[in-house]
Structure 1
Amino acid sequence: MYLKMITFLAAAAIMTACASNGEQIPNSQPKAEVSDPLNVSSSDGQYASLPEYDTIMKHLDEKDYSFNTVTDNEGTRILLIELDGAEQYKTIFVKHTNRLKIIQLDGDKQLYNDILVSQ
């Protein structure tokens, strides 16, 4: 059981690290792998302190989204962003490089893929 989970997480980390600017990452993360879901409205300050939050909000419509943390470890943070209970976006923040990817799940369209500049 643990070997499968470790293998899956390692593959996800490698896939994220190896993706180039033009590549899209499919939404293949099964719901069962969601760890520590934090169903919090985007207006809640809990996510506002994240370094990627402002950039995420600039690329989304002005709606009241809910954020769910899928993964938040030493290397990456993956968030699912929902509206009215339906998953709309997936974000991948690679902490070592400050790279943020925002993927619109409808059509698997990449909205943003760049390195965030520290302020």
Structure 2
Amino acid sequence: MPTQSDDSDRIALLQGTLDLLILKTLLFGAVHGQGIARSIQHQSEETFLVDHGSLYLALQRLEDQKLISAKWGVSENNRKARFYTLTAKGRKELDTKTSQWNRLTRAMGLILSPQSEES
């Protein structure tokens, strides 16, 4: 369980970033909501803690946009859960958004950590 100081070290997700993280998580196969949240938390080395309210709103939005699909199944702890899958349209969106994100982070790096003019 995260401590109070752990929470202060976490980074708030930028708007739209959660969608990209969900799409990336689903690239590897069908996952239920709790599994998506755990995967994002684990992959970010505990930096991102996904609020369940935000997660399920994002999942609904992505499903409405036909970027993911969902069907009912049984989780590993024998509970009924919705499992989400990336669609072909979602895979294209993931590629586009990943490219945009890479350009953005490169540009931010250039500004925040410029190369020495002497090198």
TM-score (norm 2): 0.25
Q: Which has the higher strand share?
A: 1
TM-score (norm 1): 0.25
Q: Which has the higher contact order (CA 8 A, sep 6+)?
A: 2
